Amino acid sequence: MADVYDFTAETNDGAQAPLADYRGQVMLIVNTASKCGFTPQYEGLETLWRKYRDRGFVVLGFPCNQFGGQEPGDAEEIRSFCSLNYEVDFPLTRKIEVNGPGADPLYVWLKRQKRGLLGSGAIKWNFTKFLLDRSGRVAHRYAPTVHPKALESAIEALL
C-alpha cells in the first residue's frame, strides 16, 4: 500500500469506509478498548473530535481485544458502551487486531511509518495514537499514557 488512503475500514455497523474519504483531513487513529485503565480517554478523544472536526479533523477509533481481553463485546455492545458512557460520536470500526499475523493491514502500515519507543514497531497497549497530517503522512505516534488533551498543540499545528 502506498499511503493511508489506500486502506478501507469496516465501520461499526458493517459498512465499508475508504480512508480516502478523509483525504485532506488531519486524522487521529487510535486502537481502543472498553474495559481498559485508559478507557476514560474516550472522553478526551470525543472532546478533540468536537473541537476540531469543523476545521478538518477526524478521530477514528479501532476497537481491539488483543490486550488483556479488554474489548470483549460485539460491535453493538461497543457502540452502546461508548455512546452511553462517553457520548462518543466519532467513527468507530469493527474490532480489529493490531499486532501479529492477524494484524489489520492499516496497522501494519502505520507501525512501519512511525515506530514506538526505542524503535519498537509493535503496539504496546490500547489507546496508542497515530496523528496523520492532511497529506496522510504519520506525523506523530503517542503512547497510551499520553492523554488526548496533550495532543492539542500538535493537532492545531497540522490544521
How is the chain split among helix, strand and coil, in percent rounded to 5?
35, 20, 45
Task: Give the predicted TM-score (pTM) of the model.
Answer: 0.95
Quick one: which of 93, 77, 80 has its CA closest to 21? 93
pLDDT, tens digit (0-9, with 9 covering 90-100), for 37-89: 999 999 999 999 999 999 999 999 999 999 999 999 999 999 999 999 999 99
The candidate with the shortest Cα–Cα distance to 61, out of 30, 35, 39, is 30
Q: Which of helix, strand or coil describes residue 28? A: strand
CATH number at 47 reads: 3.40.30.10
Q: What domain count does the chain have?
A: 1
Catalytic residue set: 36
**C-beta of residue 151 within 8 angstroms of C-beta of residue 30:** no
Structural domain of residue 95, as residue ranges?
A: 4-158
Return d(Cα 75, Cα 62) in angstroms, integer. Answer: 11
